[in-house]
């Protein structure tokens, strides 16, 4: 299983948004922008569900997801593929609530979406673009 490196963490810390791709159980794709996210370990991503409807239904039917993150200044970026699940209580949920409330206190998070990363791909323009990272 690949590990989220310090370089990937740096890119994620500078992002202004995350792209989350899901699909129905029949394979119909959906992608949404997620404003609130954080890498929480070497193999997990936290995205906060504030407005997810179709996305939530898709994940409950098909937990396979892709997430992209990038830094617009350096054009470095990464794609993560893995499985996702929701948590509505506990330490990770509380962390998600804090992330949202620190920026937009008027919003009410519904759940923490935790992505267990199984694959990482380089999205940075150049010879390594699209390459799976070990």
> pLDDT for 48-66, tens place per residue?
999 999 999 999 999 999 9
Phi/psi of residue 28, each to 5°? Answer: -75, 120
| CATH of segment(s) 6-122 | 2.30.110.10
pLDDT at 128 over 90: yes
pTM beyond 0.75:
yes
Pairwise CA distance, residues 131 & 13, whole Å:
22
**Joined tokens for residue 124:** 């940075």
Alpha-carbon dihedral sign for residues 13, 117, 77, 97? negative
């Amino acid at each position: 299983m690949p590990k989220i490196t310090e370089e990937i963490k740096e890119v994620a810390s500078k992002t202004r948004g995350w792209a989350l791709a899901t699909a129905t159980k029949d394979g119909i794709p959906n992608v949404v922008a997620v404003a609130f996210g954080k890498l929480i370990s070497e193999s997990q991503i936290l995205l906060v569900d504030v407005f997810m409807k179709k996305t939530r239904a898709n994940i409950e039917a098909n937990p396979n997801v892709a997430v992209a993150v990038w830094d617009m200044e350096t054009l470095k970026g990464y794609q993560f593929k893995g499985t996702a699940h929701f948590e509505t209580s506990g330490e990770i949920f509380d962390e998600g609530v804090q992330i949202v409330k620190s920026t937009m206190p008027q919003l009410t998070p519904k759940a923490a979406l935790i992505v267990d990363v199984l694959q990482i791909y380089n999205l940075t323009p150049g010879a390594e673009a699209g390459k799976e990272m070990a």
